[in-house]
Amino acid sequence: MGCENHILQFLFGLAMGPKSMFDDRLSLRKLEVFLAFLRTENIAKTAEDLGTAAVSVQRALHTLEETIQCPLFIRKGRQLQPLPTAREFAKYAHDLIAKMHEAVEETRRVGGFEQKRMRLGSLYSLSIRTVPNLIIGMKYRKPELEFELVMGSNKSLLAKLEENKLDAIVIATSGEEIDERKNIVIKLFDDDLFLAAPSDYKGRKKDADLKDLRFAKWVTLQEGFATFDGFVDAFRQTGTTPEIVAKVNDIFSMVSFVQAGLGFALLPGRMQPVFESTVKLITLAEPYRIRQTIGIVFKKTHEHEANFLALAAEARMYGRSRFGTPLQLHH
């Protein structure tokens, strides 16, 4: 109970401004460092993600504990692990940062200062056609608007949207727990996963049975990517454990590994333009078929802003042209 009182006192003090006993010891930036560390539980990775030094991350976490007068972490060997108090504090810290961003954005909107830049997150596989087409359409609607494109996995992009580090994201919305009370989700299209095989593969030309490939080697994306989740779901149906020889951080590297003959992969149909005839895409047999729904997501706090009204209109127009039609293979 003592820790809880210190946490509430701290947050109240942080919100009170210049006369607070905490304002010279902590900042919203340190809260962002704290939340980033909870996602990775790794000092070096947190520093890399934030573009800062590991010592700065350690200092921020230490300052936080001193300020609220309550232990948040425990050191086990060389690892710093969060205590239940850290998880509790994170709930309040997250809301505080989100409210501050919302306050700034709403104040700018009321003042007539429309944002001239949109931070758009995308899966790597959607940077081939989908995102360029959306941006081209947006430039017709809002010629003055600039785009900053950030690539990542479903998991990382959703986290950045939640933390207000991105304005909108284009991801696989199927299989994700997206709170539609807080977010606008607009469907763009459906896409199926296919068996990706080296060009000299002599097996089935359609309806590939993954059980026939139980001794094969596989290349996958890292955890957090929608296509990796589809891979796991498909192999769950086989009752076997695939031999994964490489996990990569982007889908283009995965295609390159298949081209080189390192192994098989499961790829979404939208990747076909990347490799033309150097990789074979083969439909999966019925039990293993996985379909992804691709959509655009942004926060409801933006839904009446001109830039986001234009984005929603463009997304819906794009969706109407593709709605309900999975991408087809061209042989």
In this model, does residue 228 exceed pLDDT 60?
yes
Max Cα separation, the chain?
74
Q: Is domain 115-331 given the CATH code 3.40.190.290 in the classification?
A: yes
C-alpha separations of 331 from 200, 228, 265, 281, 327 in Å: 15, 25, 19, 9, 13
Average pLDDT over residues 120-131: 93
Q: Report residue 120's pLDDT band, with 50, 70 and 90 as the boundaries.
A: very high
Model's pTM, two decimal places?
0.67
Render pLDDT for 31-41 as a digit per residue (tens, 0 to 9): 888 998 998 88
pLDDT of residue 48: 85
Tokens of 265: 């992969």
Q: Could you check whether 2-110 and 115-331 share the same CATH topology?
A: no
Q: Report residue 1's pLDDT band, with 50, 70 and 90 as the boundaries.
A: very low
Helices 306-322, 130-141: axis angle to 10 degrees equals: 130
Q: Is domain 2-110 given the CATH code 1.10.10.10 in the classification?
A: yes
Render pLDDT for 187-212 as a digit per residue (tens, 0 to 9): 999 999 999 998 888 877 788 888 88
pLDDT of residue 258: 92
Render pLDDT for 55-65 as a digit per residue (tens, 0 to 9): 999 999 988 88
In this model, does residue 2 exceed pLDDT 80?
no
Pick from 288, 286, 260: nearest CA to 275: 260
Q: Report residue 101's pLDDT band, with 50, 70 and 90 as the boundaries.
A: confident
Q: Report residue 92's pLDDT band, with 50, 70 and 90 as the boundaries.
A: confident
Per DSSP bridges, beta strands 265-268 and 73-76 are: unpaired
pLDDT of residue 248: 93
Mean of per-residue pLDDT scores for the chain: 84
* Rounded distance between C-alpha atoms, residue 148 and residue 146, angstroms: 7
Which residues in the chain belong to E strands, given as ranges?
A: 73-76, 79-82, 117-122, 146-151, 168-172, 183-198, 217-221, 243-248, 265-268, 279-282, 291-299
Domain layout of the chain by residue ranges: 2-110, 115-331
- DSSP codes, 122-156: E-GGGGTTHHHHHHHHHHHH-TT-EEEEEE--HHH
**Would you call 222 helix, strand, or coil by DSSP?**
coil
* Rounded distance between C-alpha atoms, residue 323 and residue 316, angstroms: 9
pLDDT of residue 94: 83
**H/E element, 109:** helix 84-110
